Structure 1
């Protein structure tokens, strides 16, 4: 059973999540607090699309549209870093175009080994050993791993061929490609025999070129009639378009000139959707089936009219192989001319894009949904939010310090932010309390931060004294003496 041809697929890719960092303290005999030794989390694996010459269809993605890479492992004590997630490599055929759901082209994979990062793995979180500093010698927290990128992508296969054969159903395109190359397409005498594009390799002297047989078109194909224009994307890369015309058709309302005009009209309608320059590609007209006497007479009649339009015309017969040699070498010469006009491929260059001097790396804008609020957008602030464990006060204080050093607080003040106003970063909203310039923040116990402590809470000693008073009903003697002195 022949494999099914699929030239378009929608896939869901998800990169691996980064592993969490570890908050650990080294302990040994006679040395209970030997310093932080929590390791970093491993990075999440990427999802890659790589061109493989042995892959010719997107069939695998049609049946398995979901792909996920491995996640990074969590760091451990003893300065042991977590293992990185395994990268997932997906094989695609040459000529695969990667697009977003909105139609934006992200990559055009043509050459063997061409690679595109479909989804970026998340960064691993830093352990408390990496977060230790001169001011924070034993951090009681670690950073969380960053979630991996997840998105939907559209894959379209656009065949890489030098010659594209166009024509009405049963015009002889499959027969032509079968006698010019070693391709063995399905051939029959009923319409729409060719349901998928066929590729063949043709040799003309020292020139070797590829030929693609596109399924038959009919008038109104751009409106969904027949097979539609689903397969016309395969001719976008073709250097030469060949109109294969059936001169032995039994339909009274058709003739070679009207067939060529109808095909050109459908191409003109589809060209804006392709976004290419099909109207500038050289055309060749092949008058087929001249082994039939009536077809030979019709070909001689219409040949001068087509040549008057500047179109090279060849009379051939795939049954008797008449005129095929002349056609092969003519196509080879056109392909060679096209290749000579192409610019020489440039060597890969390293592109450096330095950050602008006035680029702060983030923006502060008023919140349209929250009156008086602000939204902070930027790669680093949003990543820091994702890596913060908000259940740990010390981690939240560390986040505040990082945002302050980046200049977020200063920018908020310039925008008119007031203490207590809601500020949203990366989907997390909190009440902004600016730091006091010039005041040294004293570090507290591990996992806590004095700036986040609620001083209105009743202490343990106060609860103990209140319980004693309820039990005995007599205040402490020291407190009574102090009340008398007052």
Structure 2
């Protein structure tokens, strides 16, 4: 049964926003008391957060589909819908978030670090929020936006100061068991260690973590054995410790050749491992032949510039010297790291000529409009409501979409698509001198709500309608 998983594909879906409500307040002797439709609630986000009590991605291996709750729709009497609840997913320290193409989206290191993997949809505005001095009784509301949905890949890269690397059965698990309180599985056959083991070591005033990585063999960087799966766990380590077996029973192996083979695998894997400090540990000197072999190869290894320690995990020989030497190297690596600067807020103002959308002519002869605002407005429009469609036309016209279409060469009857190609709203373009609201009159008003206006006042109001902008959704922040 699988107990350790360090790579999963997670299917996440945020909650959709609730629809706004179109309602008119009614009470005795006052049947038309004005619009009172509430706003829809926001959809919940899917958030990944580092929890150091979590050490594996096993839960997501068994349940890879995760979805946040939707926002509730608004209701009459100015009642806003309840926001959807965020779905918080704990992940181990050192989890890397990638998209399906392998691009890194986030690297989560440190307790409490968060990443929003999927953003919840906005709630739609009710007709009470859409009402204005010129649109006193809107007969429509905005729809809630669908939440983001997609796939992300989670990869765990162990966060440790020291990584023990070497052949299977070189004694790495035995070494970590005597240096720390970790209790890994120990046996006398290859590939006993199938998952990385972490231990905490205290040497004087220095406390550091040490990782026992499953054994490497020739070709590990190309996928042989277990090496390729777990080489990523040494990427974050500050120090690499070569654990060499001086009492191997294989006649074609010796500590120096083992070291050369492991170094070649680390070099082929890359990820900056060639620049990490190295320490060589000659293990199993409690065996007579092992002690003799260690004394023979030590001068050669030291001539290469390695610090060499002769130890025995079984007899507890040389462990204190090794632990303090590792503490010294870890302390130097920590001191060499640049200090983290205070968080800076970077403001990137938009260019003065940035319209927020683009208009391009496709090979199929359809003009495509892409941009955050027009695509969001389309998603929030109820196309079964003529008044809502007219409101969308007004917004697009004020944004400059119609003018840009004319500059791009669009003519009456040409196809125009707003949104991504696979899910776009397509319509035949009919250019107009005035926006939809002006063509239909003062849409959204009811003459029963106010006294008749003189003709001169009506003319002034029509002129003001052409110049004034409607209340924009972006400027409205519902409670």
**What is the TM-score when the length of structure 1 is the normalising length?**
0.88
Question: For residues 273-294 of structure 1, what are the alpha-carbon distances to aligned partners after superposition, in whole Å with 9 as ceiling and x for unaligned?
Answer: xxx3111101111111111121
CA distance in 2, matches of 1:159, 1:447: 63
Quote the residue 1:421 is aligned against. Answer: 414
Residue of structure 1 aligned with 2:278, choices 270, 277, 283: 283
SS of the residue aligned with 1:91?
strand
Query: Match for 2:338 among 343, 352, 360?
Result: 343
Deviations 1:289-320 (A, max 9, x none): 11112111111111111112111111111111
* Residue 452 (structure 2) aligns with: none
Q: CA deviation at 1:221?
A: 1.8
- Per-residue CA deviations over 1:135-181 (Å, capped at 9, x if unaligned) read 22211111000000001011111111000000000000000000000
What aligned pairs does 1:43-192 form with structure 2 within 5 A after superposition?
A: 43-192=42-191
Q: Aligned partners of 2:81 and 2:326: how far apart in 1?
A: 59
Paired with 2:253 and 2:445, the residues of 1 have a C-alpha distance of: 84
Higher radius of gyration, 1 or 2: 1
Query: Is the aligned partner of 1:396 residue 2:389?
Result: yes
1:433 to 430, 434, 441: 430
Counterpart Cα distance in 2 of 1:209 and 1:257 = 28
2:355 match: 360
Find the aligned partners of 1:313 and 1:261 in 2 and give their Cα distance: 15
Does structure 1 conserve the Cα–Cα contact (< 8 Å) formed by 2:214 and 2:227? Answer: no
Partner residue, 2:194: 195
Residues 141, 447 of structure 1: 8 Å contact kept: no
Provide the rounded CA distance (Å) in 2 between the counterparts of 1:447 and 1:58: 57
d(CA) in 2 for partners of 1:366 and 1:312?
A: 66
Structure 1 unaligned regions, length at least 5: 449-486
1:443 is aligned to: 441
Contact residue 392 and residue 447 of structure 1 kept, 8 A: no
What is the RMSD computed on CA atoms of the aligned residues? 1.7
- The partner residue of 2:376 within 383, 402, 415 is 383
1:78 match: secondary structure: coil
Q: Secondary structure at the match of 1:298?
A: helix
- SS for the counterpart of 1:231 is helix
Could you list the per-position Cα deviations for residues 359-389 of structure 1 after superposition, in whole angstroms to 9, with x for gaps in the alignment?
1111111123x22x21111111110010001
How many equivalent pairs are there? 441
1:437 positional shift:
4.7
1:15 matched to 2:20? The reply is no
1:447 and 1:232 map into 2 onto residues whose CA distance is 68
Q: What is the TM-score of this pair, normalised by structure 2?
A: 0.89
CA distance in 1, matches of 2:193, 2:244: 16
Deviation at 1:333, TM superposition (A): 0.3
Query: Which residue of structure 2 lines up, in the alignment, with residue 205 of structure 1?
Result: 204
Determine the structure 1 residue equivalent to 2:249: 250
Tell me, in whole angstroms, the C-alpha distance in 2 between the residues paired with 1:35 and 1:54. Answer: 54
Q: Secondary structure at the match of 2:263?
A: helix
SS in 2 for 1:117: strand
CA distance in 2, matches of 1:294, 1:303: 14
Q: What is the distance in 1 between the residues matched to 2:429 and 2:297?
A: 81
Runs of 4 or more above 6 Å deviation: none
Q: Deviations over 1:445-474 (max 9, x none)?
A: 7699xxxxxxxxxxxxxxxxxxxxxxxxxx
1:267 maps to 2:260? no
Give the CA deviation at 1:35: 1.3
Question: Offset of 1:347 from its aligned partner?
Answer: 1.9
**Matched residue SS, 1:38:** coil
Q: CA deviation at 1:237?
A: 0.4
Which whole-Å CA distance do the structure 1 matches of 2:373 and 2:406 have between them?
20
Alignment of 1:19-34 (within 5 A): 19-34=18-33
